[in-house]
Amino acid sequence: MGTLKLDMSKRYTYADYLSWMDDVRRELFDGIIKLMTPAPSRKHQELSVNLTRIYGNFLLHKQCKVYHAPSDVRLPKDKKNSSDQTIYTVVQPDIYVVCDLSKLDDRGCLGAPDLIIEIVSARNSKRDIKDKFEIYQEHGVREYWIVNPNDENVTVFVLDENDKFQFVGMYAGDDKIPVNIFNGDLKIDLTEVFLP
């Protein structure tokens, strides 16, 4: 299937996004198209699999669910009016956890997940560290992890009572990261994430 010719300066909605029938992965940041890299690196994929497995094992038979890319997360500005024509932000986080299952449907997640993990690469680091940070904060994601495969570290932010992300810590080596949305009941052992 060929690539669509889209006006990259135009503002689009989720309804437009659904009409694009090609193989190109895109996200919408307030209606503006952001192209995604064609395929992540092997190391990126290994980290994604490791983290998804750890979360999946912990969440088995529990209320929350874990998902991985590609999966659409639609972030409406107005929660009361969240039709396809009024949603301008659609992201595909590497991994996300949702505990309010009413947000889930066959198209992914409508509303902010409880936790989002992005695995950065040289090509998308600004997008994950700045742009998505701001989007996730604005829409009320409770916990945000930025995983750096090259430096083998994880930076964790948690939303405070003023709806602002607060830096919790940077973890590396044999650290165990307490997952804040689970009140520390789950601790991610980084030696099981960054395998040799």
CATH number at residue 108: 3.90.1570.10
Q: Is residue 60 part of a domain?
A: yes
Q: Is 185 inside a domain boundary?
A: yes
Residue-level pLDDT at 1: 47
- How many separate domains does the chain show? 1
- Angle at the Cα of 94 (from 89 to 100), degrees rounded to 5? 65
Q: Domain range holding 165?
A: 40-192
**Regions of the chain with pLDDT less than 50:** 1
93 within some domain: yes
Inside any domain, residue 126:
yes
In a domain, 158, yes or no: yes
Q: Does residue 5 form part of some domain?
A: no
Residue 168 tokens, joined: 């919790």
In a domain, 147, yes or no: yes
pTM: 0.94
What local confidence, expressed as pLDDT, does residue 3 receive?
Answer: 61
CA–CA separation, 14 vs 175, rounded Å?
Answer: 39
Instruction: Give the pLDDT score at 2.
Output: 54
